[in-house]
Amino acid sequence: MVKTKVVTDLTLKLWLSAGAVDRGIGDGLTFVAAAASARAGKASWVLRYRFAGVTKEKVLGRYPDIPLKEARELARQDRAKVQQGIDIAVEKRQAKLMARRKRPCLALRHLWYRRYIVPAYDLPERVESMFIRYVDPIIGHLQIDEVCADHIDDLLLRTVKAGAPTVANDLLRYLGRMFDFAIRRNWRQTNPTTGFSQVDAGGPETPRRRWLDHKQLAELATAMRTTPNFGRVNELSVWLLLAL
């Protein structure tokens, strides 16, 4: 009869000292480490199993954060789930997804802002200031999947009431894009701004008829050139708008 070698914590340390490792502990529990991780004394606990005839695996955690005894218990619990017809790898992905959806809306705003606003706008802080003043106090603390149409309606009405109808129109566009981003990340199933239009925000924007005299044009030219971060492109754009 072949005697099975008993795996202990000392065994794990010896495996790591020898370099990269991929060793089975028993019943699908596997001790895995790349060469760099092994040199640092770290590894991963992986449970390999079969579900519906397909070989799969689930990472249980890191060693030495999870010791051998605890890893065996985690593997035992997951094997019991597999026997009950639960695909534990899918279950783990769904749990991660639900955790993301439970994060505050403020976290979504920060990520969307850094990815889409900062690279595309000369003065992205203007967009951020609108959110800080009008959006964050109403939905910033809510979970990403918790925001509904009532919240959008409330913040638009409050923005208009504060005397900023054009800001309300801008916010409706920005919020629509932000929640579209959340849908692409699978953090939401629907966009709470769907169905809202400019009429529900600040209303149609009509240009005012006025002109600048020579003194005001001179003041404008000076202001554009001395305002930090205004930029040459914006300055030329203003002159083109005035000229055309």
What digits encode the pLDDT tens for the residues 5-29?
689 999 999 999 999 999 999 999 9
pLDDT, one tens digit per residue, over 153-174 is 999 999 999 999 999 999 999 9
**Domain assignment present for 233:** no
Q: Shortest CA distance to 101 belongs to which of 191, 189, 194?
A: 189
Complete DSSP assignment for 178-196:
HHHHHHHTTS-SS-TTTT-
Neighbours of 48 (CB within 10 A): 15
- The order of strands in the sheet holding 21-26 is 21-26, 29-33, 43-51, 54-63
Under the banding of pLDDT at 50, 70 and 90, the label for residue 32 is: very high
Average pLDDT (90-101) is 82
**Domain assignment present for 45:** yes
- By CB atoms closer than 10 A (0-12, 13-18, 19+), residue 52 is exposed
The pTM assigned to this predicted structure is 0.58
pLDDT, one tens digit per residue, over 53-90 is 999 999 999 999 999 999 999 999 999 999 999 999 98
Say which CATH number the domain at 172 has.
1.10.150.130
Q: Which domain holds residue 85?
A: 9-100
**Domain assignment present for 113:** yes
pLDDT at 62: 96
**Domain assignment present for 87:** yes
pLDDT at 3: 44
CA distance 148 to 153: 9
Say which CATH number the domain at 14 has.
3.30.160.390
pLDDT at 5: 67
